[in-house]
Structure 1
Amino acid sequence: MPLDRAKLLAARYQAAEARPYLASALYALTVVPSERVGTMAVDRYWRCYVAPAFVDATPVEELAGVWIHEAAHLLRDHHGRADRLSAADQRDHRRVNIAQDCEINDDLVADGLRLPAGRMEPRLFGLPGGRLFEEYLRDLPASPPHAPDCGSGAHGVAAPWDLGDHTGTATTGLGPAEAEALRRQTAQAVRAHTRSRGTIPAGWRRWAEELLEPTVDWRKALTGAVREAAAWAGGAVDYTYRRPSRRTPALGGRVVLPSLRRPLPRVAIVVDTSGSMGEDDLAAALAEVSGVLREVGVGGNRVAVLACDADVQAVARVTAVDQVELAGGGGTDMTVGIRRALAAQDPPNIVVVLTDGYTPWPPEPLSARLIAALIGDDAPEPPAWAETVRIPTSH
């Protein structure tokens, strides 16, 4: 059966007219007729394999919905995300495909798009909408025998109809760099459409915002900053005569050589206890810092915690977070706490400041490494020389 291209392209035109923010992605797909594919499927090169019999049997309105469905697999980088699944999940690629369809179709149905019968939706499995496919995958039952196959551009496993790296022909498709640029262009179009009309499903809005402004795992970022600073401070080796060098006996005892030592860093944690700070957010961030320090072997009297608003309210050397008293509640000036920490008899190598950012900062770099852990979505920037980790209040 020959492919009815006029009908197929009319459906794509209808999809692009109704959802103009997806137009660039829809028109980037290269059509490849194939009797081997069941309905429509994509590969990672943005080729869309189409069964002529499916086009003949499907109304234009439903074909328009399928166009958007297949483009969504590629825009959401489903094959790239599938490549990061466990080996066991990757082997069950049909089940992965079902989870991906659940991620896409709840948005499409809510947007009023018509899709062919038998589509996979979260409600069919008693699951809520609005999740990512990785979340659906955990709760899905074993794959049914007739699960969908949207191609390697979805689940990541090569399909019998794939052309592979088919370069130098009319069906070359897109490379990874071109595909990523197209995703960003589409995300920007989604954002612009949302601001002007506000009629885009929540799933598309979340996808666009995450792509344009990816969410950083603040716990990992804070852990990395503290670990790196501790390694830097621990690298400041020094000489000591308390433990003579192993080469001393070779000199017949006439000369005592010092040995190298790698000291543990001293850490000061300056906690903003002004009235604008939320106690739960402070406690969570302080627990993260304390946990990292314990892992790298820094604890006990090597960690000082200073509760500070406009003045230093309390100083303690603690071994556990629950020993910290978050006194304060007045104005805000972390400079006072930082200077107090550096004036100690054993000044710290690392200063971690937990604050909402609405504070003065020292005018120049410190003798210690400064990590500014900024709590809150709108926290202003600290000085450029400080290391910054942002901690959202909705963690």
Structure 2
Amino acid sequence: MFAGVPAARLALDRTKLLAGRYRAAKLRPYLASAMYALSVVPSWHLSTMGVDRHWRLYANPDFVAAHPVEELAGVWVHEVAHLLRDHHGRADRLRHVDRDDHLRVNLAQDCEINDDLIADGLPLPASRVEPSTFGLATGRLFEEYLAGIPHTHVLHVQCGSGAHGIPVPGEVGADGAPAVPEVEAGAIRRTTADAIRAHVRGRGTVPFGWRRWADEIAEPTVDWRRLLTGALRQAVVWASGAADYTYARPGRRSAALRGVVLPSLRRPLPRVAIVVDTSGSMGDDQLASCLAEVTGVLRAVGIRGNRVTVLACDADVQAVTRVTKADQVQLSGGGGTDMRVGIERARRGPEPPNVIVVLTDGLTPWPDEPAGCRLIAGLVGPNPPDTPPWIETIHITDG
């Protein structure tokens, strides 16, 4: 909501405003470096406080005068959260129909931030927006909240281009207050994420939304399908490199040597075994999704038909099937978990595989030594246990 211009403007009480920052940094020290990176700009173009995408904080002197230091501390945390969580960058990636309604985007972003601040016990002004304002659940990202924000703007918030990404009249240009370059902003985010994770390791309390954000920054999500495809392609190339000589087809140079038959080089097509964990801890939807992905990759690299064997396994091998499509596989089992059984069964088959892919939640013992072939483990679900270092590991998450 834009503020009207008062007849007589107050001077910004910087001492009070910076006291709010000091209090916020003392209460939440893991956010201190980010808050102290902000440049302060007195401004009347916003009714409260806001940020631009260059890490400048705009403070309306009337708003600062009307609120106690304790609430100003909460607003400091709120505004820097827009920048740390890269709300303007994420808003840029929205569909145009949502992107253009930047005030509604801002409301959704405030819901994402304020549910954490309220859970954290930080005082906020009474006019705050939170998920319950719209009857929404807590703990969501702003992209999820957006669908529940009404298109009729019964509420107006304006946190600046540092939130929704749309330039706001009144924000200073490139020659204004000091700005934080994007490279430095990325470093601030990583430093803050490290500080949050260190605080948690020291048994400090941090709201879920901040923990989730810090984990994402420290361990960015990578598309597991791309990783799995790369690992399988590399494994197939590695196995195909085992060229050998064969007399089944004479070498091309045999014609030049009368009465002599030369062998030709043969590059065998690898065999692949897929060991699927069907224990009680694995869901059917997870299994079907992962298996479809693996078989699709194998078809793409030319491995199909009788060169693929699928073994459904829990504490024992329940079924061994040769397949050409994922929907031909019968997933059975549901007991305990020991993928060593499936790996060993695959190795001892009549045609041992060159590559073994294991799809499991990781709650299984592993062989004590390499299996004598390329072994790739697709670990399904959050926080799976570690695997032996000689196993290529792909973490498979929902989405």
Q: For residues 309 and 73 of structure 2, what CA distance do their matches in structure 1 show?
A: 63
Kept in 2: contact 1:83–1:90 (CA 8 A): yes
For residue 183 of structure 2, what is the amino acid of its counterpart?
A
User: Does 1:286 pair with 2:285?
Assistant: no
From the superposition, tell whether residues 352 and 26 of structure 1 become closer, same or farther in structure 2 (CA, over 3 Å): same
Distance 2:184 2:102 in 1: 26
CA–CA distance in 1 between the matches of 2:136 and 2:48? 26
State how far apart, in whole Å, the 1-side matches of 2:202 and 2:375 are.
42
Amino acid at match of 1:304: T
Offset of 1:206 from its aligned partner? 2.4
CA distance in 2, matches of 1:90, 1:263: 53
The yes-or-no answer on 1:74 pairing with 2:86 is no
Distance (whole Å) between structure 1 residues aligned to residue 319 and residue 375 of structure 2: 20
Partner in structure 2 of residue 56 of structure 1: 65
- 1:337 Cα offset (Å): 5.0
* CA shift digits 1:96-129 (9 cap, x unpaired): 1111011011222233333334322111211111
State the Cα deviation string for residues 145-191 of structure 1 (Å, max 9, x = none).
Answer: 7621211111112222333444xx8x323222322222232223333
Instruction: State whether structure 2 residue 96 is matched by structure 1 residue 87.
Output: yes
Residue 237 of structure 1: CA displacement?
A: 11
Deviation at 1:7, TM superposition (A): 1.8
Match of 1:324 among 314, 324, 330: 330
Partner of 2:160: 151
**Which structure 2 residues correspond to residues 12-23 of structure 1 after superposition, within 5 A?**
12-23=21-32
Kept in 2, the 8 Å contact 1:306–1:312? The answer is yes
> What is the one-letter code of the residue matched to 2:357?
V
Matches within 5 A, 1:155-304: 155-166=164-175, 171-196=177-202, 198-216=204-222, 218=224, 221-223=227-229, 225-226=231-232, 229=235, 266-271=271-276, 278=282, 280=284, 282=287, 285-293=290-298, 298-304=303-309
Give the counterpart of 2:357 among 352, 358, 366.
Answer: 352
TM normalised by structure 2 equals 0.76
1:27-38 to structure 2, matched below 5 A, reads 27-38=36-47
Q: Deviations over 1:292-330 (max 9, x none)?
A: 445667544332113457886643202444533546968
Quote the residue 2:141 is aligned against: 132
Per the TM alignment, residue 48 of structure 1 is displaced from its structure 2 partner at its CA by: 0.6
SS at match of 1:28: coil
Question: What is the letter of the counterpart of residue 4 of structure 1?
Answer: D
> Are the counterparts in 2 of residues 32 and 50 from structure 1 also a CA contact under 8 Å?
yes
Alignment match, 1:248: none
For structure 1, list consecutive stretches of 5 or more residues without a partner in the other structure.
Answer: 243-259
Structure 1's 296 and 144: CA in aligned 2 closer, same or farther, altered over 3 A? farther
Matched-pair contact (CA < 8 Å) for 1:358–1:380 = no
Counterpart of 2:311 in structure 1 is 306
Q: Distance in 2 between matches of 1:178 and 1:190?
A: 18
Residues 207-233 of structure 1: per-residue CA shift (max 9 Å, x gap): 223323345554554355446656877
**CA deviations over 1:185-204 (Å, ceiling 9, x no partner):** 22233334344454432222
Q: Is the 8 A contact 1:41 1:70 kept in 2?
A: yes
Contact 1:357–1:374 (CA under 8 A) maintained in structure 2: no
1:379 aligns with 2:385: yes
1:93 CA displacement: 1.5
| Normalised TM-score (structure 1) | 0.77
In the alignment, the residues of structure 2 paired with residue 344 and residue 232 of structure 1 have an alpha-carbon distance, to the nearest angstrom, of 21
Which of 80, 100, 105 in structure 1 is aligned with 2:114? 105
Q: Structure 1 counterpart of 2:119, which letter?
A: A
1:42 matched to 2:60? The reply is: no
Please state whether the residue corresponding to 1:382 is helix, strand or coil.
coil
Q: CA 1:347/1:119 → structure 2, altered by over 3 Å: closer, same or farther? A: same
In the superposition, relative to structure 1, how do residues 279 and 183 fare at CA in structure 2: closer, same or farther (>3 Å)?
Answer: closer
Contact map agreement 2:291 2:326 (CA 8 A) in 1: no
CA distance in 2, matches of 1:196, 1:293: 45
Could you say if the C-alpha distance between residues 63 and 129 of structure 1 is closer, same or farther in structure 2, counting changes exceeding 3 Å?
Answer: same
Query: Residues 91 and 164 of structure 2 are in contact (CA less than 8 Å); yes or no, is this contact kept in structure 1?
Result: yes
AA at the equivalent of 1:162: E
Q: Which runs of 5+ in 2 are unaligned?
A: 1-8, 249-264
Contact 1:313 1:328 in 2 (8 A): no
Q: Deviations over 1:118-144 (max 9, x none)?
A: 322111211111110010112222151
Specify the SS of the correspondent of 1:390: strand
SS of 1:163's equivalent in the other structure is coil
- Amino acid of the structure 2 residue aligned with 1:316: T
Secondary structure (helix, strand or coil) at the match of 1:149 reads coil
Matched letter for residue 379 of structure 2: L
Contact 1:357–1:375, Cα closer than 8 Å, also in 2: no
Quote the Cα distance in structure 1 between the aligned partners of 2:142 and 2:312.
43
Counterpart-to-counterpart distance in 2, 1:227 and 1:23: 46
| Corresponding residue SS for 1:107 | helix
Identity, in percent, stands at 60
